[in-house]
Structures are given as structure tokens and as C-alpha cells.
Amino acid sequence: MSVDLQATMPVAFSVAALVSTTRDVLTELLGGCSVPAIVVRTDRRWDRGRLVDPGRVLIPAEQETAVVGADLVGADYARSGPDYRLVVGDEDDGASLHASEYPAYPEFDEPARTVLWCTPDRTCVGVTVGAAVTLAAAIRGGGQIEECQLRLFPVVDPRAAMQALRLPDAEAGFVDQCVRFVRAIDTLNGWPSAVDAASWSEARPN
């Protein structure tokens, strides 16, 4: 089962804007820590739950023209856009995301809305990146936080949530700061146990 974070995004924005804001949010959350390069991958392919093609790197020029919240396909009740993966650092840690559009349901007093779904890797680095991506999407899209699985965010306003969660200083490197960030959130109760992609792979059965 995937673990998802989500944010509403009334306004669409470019992948480049999401990457830039994600970097700013990560820097803020981690107390001013230097953030490694962020790589965006797309066109990944899955077969029966297994990744069979890691896709390709989206170059900066493509990031400028690719729009999160555009190119939606599927049934009218839930059209979805392309899948993107943001990777931070050298260990392939990060989070996957896509936007989905839902129609209005007047009988339930529910307006039409576009939601960004973000699935972080089950590592401390992945959860931190996922939190930053979700906050960045809400900020860029003029929306709010709507995650309901991890209970990661204390409030729905993204800027207020960022201030509530941020570390007070940058006393360590990026990976260690991600561990500090995740361990400081009581609702996670020590989850996830894996620090980064390397330790996650070692912990999984062959």
C-alpha cells in the first residue's frame, strides 16, 4: 500500500517552479541546510507492481514547459496527469507525484478541485522530500494541505505548517538533517526506520 501526502492546487504551475520551491522549502525545513541537486524523472513504466523502466531525466528546458496539473487523461470523475519523480542526492531518494482533477458534486456541496498526490519513499530522506514537495505544491498552487495518512502536518496552511515543522538549525548534513526532521514529528512514532535508499534496500528481503 502506498503512503500518500496530498495538497489542493487551484492554480497549475511548471515542474521547474515546483523544483525551485521544493528546494526553498527543504532549506527552510532543515534549518538552512544545503540541499543537494534535485533531479526529475518521468516516463517510468511499471508491470504488475514492479518498476521495469526508470524513465528519463527531465532536462531544465522541459521542466520549464511541463505543467503540473495539465495533460490530464482518464475518466471524467478522476482525470490524472503524468507521473513525475523528484530525486534528491546520490542515493535515489525522493518522492513520486501526479496531479488529479475531480469534478464538482453540487449535491454534496463539493467544488471541482485539482489535487497533487505525493508518494514519498519509505525512508527519512523520502518522507522529508515528500513533505517539501507537498508544501511546495500547496504554496505554488494557492491551495492547502489535505494529507490524511501520515498526520505529518499540524495545520492545513502550507506556510504555517512549514514554520511549525522547521528545524531550528543546520547542525548536520542533508541526510542527517532529514533524520532529525522526521524523528522530531511525534505522530510518526519512529517511522520510517530506514534512513535513505541504501539502508532501505539492505533492510528489505532478497
For the chain, the domain total comes to 1
Asked whether residue 200 carries a pLDDT value surpassing 60, the answer given is no
45-47 and 56-57 beta bridge pairing: unpaired
> Per-residue pLDDT averaged across 146-166, rounded?
89
Which domain, by its residues, includes 46? 5-203
**Distance separating alpha carbons of residues 14 and 27, to the nearest angstrom:** 20
pLDDT-derived band at 205 (thresholds 50, 70, 90) equals very low
Rounded alpha-carbon distances, angstroms, from residue 143 to 19, 21, 135, 156, 173: 17, 14, 9, 9, 31
Asked whether residue 206 carries a pLDDT value surpassing 60, the answer given is no
Q: 31 near 143, Cβ under 8 Å?
A: no
pLDDT at 117: 92
Q: E strands of 43-199, at which residues?
A: 45-47, 50-53, 56-57, 67-68, 79-80, 84-88, 93-102, 113-120
**Distance separating alpha carbons of residues 2 and 81, to the nearest angstrom:** 18
Asked whether residue 74 carries a pLDDT value surpassing 70, the answer given is no
The three-state DSSP-derived secondary structure of 135-148 is: HHHHHHHCCCECCC
Instruction: Report the predicted TM-score, pTM, of the whole model to 2 decimal places.
Output: 0.88
* pLDDT tens by residue, 13-68: 999 999 999 999 999 999 999 999 999 998 877 776 677 777 799 999 999 999 98
**Distance separating alpha carbons of residues 79 and 57, to the nearest angstrom:** 24
- Determine the distance from the C-alpha atom of residue 104 to the mean position of all C-alpha atoms in its chain, rounded to a whole number: 25
Rounded alpha-carbon distances, angstroms, from residue 92 to 5, 18, 28, 50, 187: 19, 19, 22, 16, 26
All three cell numbers of 60, joined, read 531544465
The backbone torsions φ and ψ at residue 24, rounded to the nearest 5 degrees and listed phi first, read -60, -40
Sign for the pseudo-dihedral over CA of 24, 26, 30, 36 = negative
* pLDDT tens by residue, 86-143: 999 877 889 999 888 887 778 878 777 889 999 999 999 999 999 999 999 999 999 9
